Structure 1
Amino acid sequence: MADHYEVLGVSREATTDEIKKAYRRLARELHPDVNPGEDASERFKLVTHAYDVLSDSDQRAKYDRGGDSPFGGAGAGGFGGFGDIFETFFGAANGARAGRPRSRRERGQDALVRVNLDLKDVVFGVHRDLEVDTAVLCETCEGSCCQPGTSPVTCDICHGAGNVQRQVRSLLGNVVTSQPCNVCQGYGTTIPYPCATCQGQGRVRARRTVSIDIPAGVETGLRLQLPGSGEVGPAGGPNGDLYLEINVGADEVFSRDGDDILATLEVSMPDAILGTTTTIESLDGPVELEVRPGVQAGDVLTIKGRGITPLRGSQRGDLRVGVHVATPTKLDAKSRALIEEFASRTKAPAPQLSEFHQGLFAKLRDRFRNA
């Protein structure tokens, strides 16, 4: 058997790029479409087989240890390890099924993109145009993997079957096995002139825009699936899926409790005593809110239907506003006199202990839960 390095005209220390360049030079010279001679055809087979062995790091290492005999590094007459024997009996793990070549077209991988949203986006839903770095169909070869004007050719070794039968000597005697063809790697065809744009992959890396309508009601950690929006597969195979992982950022004013939105309203002491009507800026825009006379700190005022639309449903939650009564800390003499007169008229009871709460916000939280 001819030495693979000599067939390609490279040294045993040649790099992968040097082996590839040598193969391409010889393939252009010896390919049957260019050189129809019988000698050239035989040399082309040898060159292709040598390249397939030396371009694969595992096969090259095995060849360097003793040639590409059925049993690897023990030579044509010896036996390798048990792993090599089982591989010979049952075929390589990535080989083709007997009698059926492998398809170059495979499904593309799924992709995951994280999307940051504001609370307002969650309330109403939002449209986003996402820039995604992914694999797309090669426009030069349109997934054929070949240079334009060329096409795959039937493998001369397996004649398109993708596998070859061999009779090997084993511990059990002579055994006929079926293994993936080393020349075409089980595809049944070879590509003598790979597309220069995609390097024979049928796809390239590129940035593309994905338009998506994100529904209302999503929350942090939720994943939305977009079937067929992931990477295109090798040789123009079907696309994988795209998954959007949602992250909702914190809002300075509002927070979320299920389908309800929570906020805190600071009310002056006179307004808490006398009551008032005020306009607040909600996520829906301005909305009128009535503060009833005598409202207490920690009371919850509810505005129906101004919360979040559930992911699966149509009835929005509520906007719930917890009251915080702001007590003045600095009073002039006249204001203090008025407060003292008010206190004497109302004859308020002396301060006394009541149910324990861990601060105002804990009290508001409990009120929210029980409202």
Structure 2
Amino acid sequence: MAKNDYYTTLGAARDASADDLKKAYRKLAMQFHPDRNPGDKAAEAKFKEVNEAYEILKDEQKRAAYDRYGHAAFENGGAGAGGFDFSQAGGLGDIFDQMFGDFMGRRGGGGGGRATRVGGDIRANIEIDLSEAYFGTKSTIKVQTRVNCDACDGTGSEAKDRAASDTCSTCGGMGKVRAQQGFFLVERSCPTCGGSGRVIRNPCRVCHGQATVARERSLQITVPSGVEDGTRIRLTGEGEAAGAGGQPGDLYVHISIRPHAIFQRDGATILCRVPLRISQAALGGEIEVPVIDGSRAKVKIPAGTQSGEQFRLRSKGFSVLRSAARGDMYIQVAVETPQHLTRRQRELLEEFEQEATQHAKGSPEAEGFFAKVREFFDGKS
């Protein structure tokens, strides 16, 4: 039976780019994978056909030979893919490896090669003041981590026998194992060899073959200006060591900002609540307020200012992270009712209340509300 044209099998044009071929293959491989079509012989056959076509066309030399000679280039012992053995495909996990391995930023070895040992990631927490978040700061932290063992240079073996190791029987030297979890195949580092693919014959007496030892490290962290509460800073390669030939993990620093006694923050905006006496709000005037950078600013308060009104101070807020832009500062006034009045203050307020009753225009909001109340009750009667 004659084979279908490989380009036709993938639904791709003969001049398709490598990316276009890969996209076509991914779509069909997911569609016809036997794990998604259990018991469907036709789907399994189509899956094998799609894989055979892509195995040829993804290789530039094989593709050139196919374009020139067709299927004949790989017959009679040629260099082609031949019959595709699904048992060697590794199941749906391999499809995900090919599709998403690079996208997910995997640091381990891809395909069927040995996995690269990767050290563990570390988390550290630091707390800073609001002013430190405004200006930026440097902070020294201490972290408990693992570093390469000095006694064995991170090999895990005694100095006289560093090359002596055997292929791991659990993973067959691949450094990774797979386990079925429902529909998916989950891949992880081999628990026996830790991802190295080898088992040490004569372990180091200091690290007991682990290649790393526990140690406390001090690191200086640079906190950028404008950082927000909950920000996470990643320091690549500052995590736990993985032994000789391995890749260290990362350090993730989580930043929290202590509450400030005067200022509140909302992104790049700073809020400052300023209480005003009744006389200040009624008569108006000028007040002096602090600014986060340590300076002072004067704010003019118009006569008749109401509680809750805000006044804007441009560019007095936080800088926007990784930007030259700067937010604003808002002064929100809160008119405070006086307490613990002196006799004279009470007399003055009583005089004021008498005047206010006769001249209601001084409190239009109150007068308007009670006018509506009177209308409400008049309508009821």
TM-score computed with the length of structure 1 as normaliser: 0.53
1:216–1:139: structure 2 CA closer, same or farther, 3 Å change rule?
A: same
Q: What is the CA deviation profile of residues 198-247 of structure 1, one whole-angstrom value per residue up to 9, with x for unaligned ones? A: 11222111111122112233334432221111111134522112222333
Q: What is the CA deviation profile of residues 125-181 of structure 1, one whole-angstrom value per residue up to 9, with x for unaligned ones? A: 2211121111111122221223335432376999xx969xxxxxxxxxxxxxxxxxx
CA positional deviation for 1:309 = 1.1
Whether the 8 Å contact between 1:262 and 1:320 is mirrored in structure 2 is yes
1:190–1:107: structure 2 CA closer, same or farther, 3 Å change rule?
A: closer
1:154–1:223: structure 2 CA closer, same or farther, 3 Å change rule?
A: closer
Look up the equivalent residue of 1:322 and give its one-letter code: Q
Number of the residue aligned with 1:76: none
Give 1:74-93 correspondences, 5 Å limit: none
Give the secondary-structure state (helix, strand or coil) at the position aligned to 1:238: coil
Look up the equivalent residue of 1:316 and give its one-letter code: R
Give the secondary-structure state (helix, strand or coil) at the position aligned to 2:157: coil
1:155–1:276: structure 2 CA closer, same or farther, 3 Å change rule?
A: same
Number of the residue aligned with 1:255: 264
Whether the 8 Å contact between 1:152 and 1:190 is mirrored in structure 2 is no
Question: Partners of 1:336 and 1:312 in 2: how far apart?
Answer: 55
Any stretches of 5+ residues in structure 2 without a counterpart? 1-86, 91-108, 175-192, 371-381
Whether the 8 Å contact between 1:203 and 1:235 is mirrored in structure 2 is no
Question: Partners of 1:119 and 1:241 in 2: how far apart?
Answer: 27
Q: What is the CA deviation profile of residues 306-346 of structure 1, one whole-angstrom value per residue up to 9, with x for unaligned ones? A: 21111131222112110011232344444344445566399
Give the secondary-structure state (helix, strand or coil) at the position aligned to 2:333: strand
Q: Which moved more, 1:217-226 or 1:312-321?
A: 217-226
Question: Partners of 1:232 and 1:339 in 2: how far apart?
Answer: 74
Question: Partners of 2:138 and 2:270 in 1: how far apart?
Answer: 22
Question: Partners of 2:278 and 2:194 in 1: how far apart?
Answer: 83
Question: Partners of 2:167 and 2:142 in 1: how far apart?
Answer: 45
Question: Partners of 1:212 and 1:311 in 2: how far apart?
Answer: 17
Give the secondary-structure state (helix, strand or coil) at the position aligned to 2:159: coil
Number of the residue aligned with 1:352: 367
Question: Partners of 1:154 and 1:330 in 2: how far apart?
Answer: 85
How large is the Cα RMSD of the aligned pairs? 4.0
One of 134, 137, 143 as aligned partner of 2:154: 143
Question: Partners of 1:101 and 1:258 in 2: how far apart?
Answer: 46
Percent pairwise identity: 32
1:188–1:292: structure 2 CA closer, same or farther, 3 Å change rule?
A: closer
1:194–1:230: structure 2 CA closer, same or farther, 3 Å change rule?
A: same
Number of residue pairs aligned between Structure 1 and Structure 2:
238
Whether the 8 Å contact between 2:310 and 2:333 is mirrored in structure 1 is yes
Any stretches of 5+ residues in structure 1 without a counterpart? 1-86, 91-96, 164-183, 356-371
Whether the 8 Å contact between 2:308 and 2:332 is mirrored in structure 1 is yes
Give the secondary-structure state (helix, strand or coil) at the position aligned to 2:219: strand
Question: Partners of 1:154 and 1:205 in 2: how far apart?
Answer: 24
Whether the 8 Å contact between 2:234 and 2:251 is mirrored in structure 1 is yes
Q: What is the CA deviation profile of residues 54-81 of structure 1, one whole-angstrom value per residue up to 9, with x for unaligned ones? A: xxxxxxxxxxxxxxxxxxxxxxxxxxxx
Number of the residue aligned with 1:316: 326
